[in-house]
Amino acid sequence: MRFRKIYRRVLFCFLIINIIAIAIFVVYNIDKNIPDEIKILVGTEEKFDFGMPVEANIETEDIGVISVNDQRVPSNQIDIDLNKPFTLKSDRTGNYNISLKLFGIFNYRNISLDVIDSVELIPCGTPIGIYVETDGILVLGSGRITGEDGLNYEPVSNKLKSGDYIIAINGRKVSDKNELIKEIQRNGGRDIILQVRRNSENIQVRISPVKTAGGTYKIGAWIRDNTQGIGTLTYVSSDGHFGALGHGITDIDTGLLMEISHGSIYAAEIMSVIKGREGEPGELIGMIKQQDKYKIGEITENSRQGIFGRVGRNYKGPEYLEPLKIGFKQEVKKGRAQIRCMLDDKVEDYDIEIESIDMGNSNHSKGLVLRIVDERLLNATGGIVQGMSGSPIIQNNKIIGAVTHVFIQDSTKGYGTFIENMVNNLE
């Protein structure tokens, strides 16, 4: 009798564990397959097939604007079963809220439905030189200073943090490190007040500079005020907006997204290629033509989705590149696609396989997993290399995304972002 009770308790525990495991698996798959944002074109019927045990309610005051399964819905609250295939269509642009209910019972989360006008972009794939200046002086870290008395000091220790931005000294605005150094020397060793931006909040920090044996004053902070590098131009729109990289510019030392005041993109020439191999990502070695006549455009935004701005009036891309419609997340399929990039003097398309699609990935720059299968590109680069970030991904004659990262252990594979993540600034 006692054995039976123990046996039942064990079975009950296994049942509870199985229920919890199933619930976790269901939630994981919902997060993976249902995005936080859905985009559709105005006046176009879009098909969806999530196959998830979730019911959705679309709330709108625009009665009759949205059609579900080709049926115009008069109610201001539209119910959809996401476990079955369905279609959506809207006759008006706008933003709508979709409430998800797990198993039709439990409130789960909200997603955004954006209805936008048709967008055509020129998928470029051309190498660009990138130069940006930080919005303030970026603090990388701190170090020790040997004073004129031979002792070691750390003036900014526990006062400045990696990722801080110095924006003023003693009430005087500074925009580059040379200005900061001059102001510190001019102050003659007296305490200085630094105005610092930390996590979008402005604070003041008092620092005591240290006089070195050479007679100069230092505060012991590693700082940076600009950065530059090689990347790939993803697209140019009909009205002159551009997007590039597919991910933001982060500081190489802190790993943080850089806050920029302004920047420019220039024409770049690829001089050589370091092929990627296991454990060592390759690289495009290029020369940035950093003169005004080679300037392509101005950078206005550095975000997690890439860098964005406007091209100049004199910009002329390759004439053989034609504009393509964009493909939304729901249109992307596993299988054959192409990436566009330039290794020699001409932009070419190279075959890839899309191996995985993660619509719900919170890291927008890693929504796609792709593998290079084109022997031409494999022979030239070994796969994806640094500098190819931003190379547009094309499938079914639509631009659907951009290359963002390479797998360190397998240079033939990498990540990509959906193009709709990069066109938000165009809406």
Q: What is the pLDDT of residues 10-38, one digit of tens each?
A: 676 776 776 666 656 656 666 666 777 88
Q: What is the pLDDT of residue 25?
A: 61
Arithmetic mean of pLDDT, 120-136:
93
Length of the chain: 427
DSSP code per residue over 203-251: EEEEE--EEBTTS-EE--EEEEEEEEEEEEEEEEETTSEEEESSS--B-
CATH of domain 144-219: 2.30.42.10
More confident site: 59 or 423: 423
Distances from the Cα of 30 to the Cα of 13, 113, 201, 358, 364, angstroms: 26, 17, 36, 10, 16
User: Looking at residue 75, what is its pLDDT?
Assistant: 62
Confidence of residue 358 (pLDDT cuts 50, 70, 90): confident
Catalytic residue among 241, 247, 364, 405: 247
Instruction: Give the pLDDT confidence score for residue 375 in this predicted structure.
Output: 95
Could you tell me which residues come within 8 angstroms of residue 269 by beta carbon, excluding any fewer than 6 positions away?
127, 286, 287, 289
* Residue 106 token pair: 């439990």
Q: What confidence category does residue 44 fall into, taking pLDDT thresholds of 50, 70 and 90?
A: confident
pLDDT exceeds 90 at position 82: no
Q: Could you tell me which of 274, 300, 278, 294 has the C-alpha nearest to residue 286?
A: 274
**Domain 123-131+226-426 is of which CATH architecture?**
Beta Barrel (2.40)
Q: What is the pLDDT of residue 60?
A: 67
| pLDDT at 150 (0 to 100) | 86
pLDDT digits (tens, 9 = 90+) for 300-328: 999 999 999 999 877 777 777 889 999 98
Is-catalytic flag, 241? Answer: no
- Residue 68, Cβ density class (10 Å: 0-12 exposed, 13-18 middle, ≥19 buried): middle
* 380-399: average pLDDT: 94
Whole-angstrom distance, CA of residue 426 vs CA of residue 78: 28
In this prediction, residue 426 has a pLDDT band, given cuts at 50, 70 and 90, of: low
Kindly state the average pLDDT of the residues 105-126: 82
Which pLDDT score, from 0 to 100, does residue 138 have? 93
d(CA 66, CA 45): 10
| Residue found by looking up tokens 């200085």 in the block | 192
Q: What is the pLDDT of residues 185-237, one digit of tens each?
A: 998 889 999 999 998 899 999 999 998 888 899 998 899 999 999 999 999 99
Write down the pLDDT at residue 103: 65
Which of 141, 158, 132 has the alpha carbon at shortest distance from 223?
A: 141
Task: Write the CATH number of the domain with boundaries 34-116.
Answer: 2.60.40
Would you call 389 a catalytic residue per the annotation?
Answer: yes
What residue ranges do the domains of the chain occupy?
34-116, 123-131+226-426, 144-219
Tens digit of each residue's pLDDT (9 = 90 or more) over 234-266: 999 988 899 999 999 988 888 889 999 999 999
pLDDT given for residue 392 in this prediction:
97
State yes or no: pLDDT of 399 exceeds 90. Answer: yes
For residue 239, what pLDDT is reported? 86
**What pLDDT is recorded for position 157?**
87
Distances (CA, A) of 348 to 345, 377, 390: 10, 10, 14
148: left (phi over 0), alpha (psi -120 to 50) or beta: alpha
Q: Which of 37-51, 361-375, 381-395 has the highest mean pLDDT?
A: 381-395
Which of 149-158, 179-188, 277-286, 295-304 is predicted least confidently? 277-286
pLDDT of 63 over the 60 cut: no
Exposure string of 330-344, with b = 16+ CB inside 10 Å and e = fewer, is bbbeeeebbbbbbbe
Cβ-in-10-Å burial (0-12, 13-18, 19+) of 374 comes to middle
φ/ψ of 15, rounded to 5, equals -65, -45
Confidence class of residue 290 from pLDDT cuts 50, 70 and 90?
confident
Q: What integer pLDDT is reported at residue 209 of this predicted model?
A: 92
Number of H helices, E strands in the chain: 4, 32
- Give CA–CA dist 424/418, Å, rounded: 11
Does the structure show a pLDDT above 70 at 379? Answer: yes
Q: What is the pLDDT of residue 414?
A: 94
% of the chain surpassing 90 pLDDT: 42
Q: Please give the Cα distance from 180 to 170 (Å, whole number).
A: 10
Residue-level pLDDT at 83? 77
Work out the average pLDDT over 68-75.
Answer: 68
Task: Select which of 365, 389, 391, 411 is catalytic.
Answer: 389
